[in-house]
Amino acid sequence: MNKNKYFLEVFKKAEKKYGGSKYRLAADGWRADWQTLIATIMSAQSRDETTIPIAENLFKRYKSLEQLSKAKYPEVLNIFRSLNYNKTKAKNVIAAAQILVEKYRSIVPDTIEELIVIPGVGRKTANLIITECHAKHGICVDTHVHRLSNVLGFVKTKNPHQTELELMKVAPKKYWARINRILVLWGKEVSGRDKLKILNKLKE
């Protein structure tokens, strides 16, 4: 099987179905790059529908990165009270803001290497930031992307980092930044590992 050809065949069908969706993911629609980064840190292991209104409340209270960097932990924790892993995320968000202000003069870095040392930022978030905020090539791999890529046979991998690297070999570079949104929207509608059931969703 030619995996490159197979990927394009499936992905184009998925993009036709989900490309026009207005569904808002946690990283979508923020006015500033730092807000995109903070909202993405908050979204780990949490639903987008839960994360977005909490992030909106955070940004109403702290209107600039400088204000957020000086936030008190109990105040941020109170805003995060209904967010999964709220204690860790409250600490990470404040620490991330402090690093951005002190080390990067309030500018969100544009390399994976710089981003992954920020508290709460792994490769998934780093790739999302370089693609969404800096228009660079990268593949953001979350649980949906990892699962679907393996079930559909794009890759055969054991973890998201391996999936990221293997997808780079399968998918043309111009598609990289779009993979996450399309497969996340698709993955939200299809659970499990039934390949036929997952593919049939594209026909509905």
- The residues that are catalytic are 124
Helices (H), the chain: 3-18, 33-43, 48-61, 65-69, 73-79, 86-104, 112-115, 123-132, 143-151, 160-170, 176-189, 195-200
- The amino acid at residue 61 is R
CA end-to-end distance (rounded Å), the chain: 26
Residue 75 burial (CB < 10 Å; 0-12/13-18/19+)?
Answer: middle
Q: Residue-wise over 83-118: b if at least 16 C-beta within 10 A, else e?
A: beebeebbebbbbbbbbbbeeeebebbeebebbeeb
CB 118 within 8 A of CB 86: no
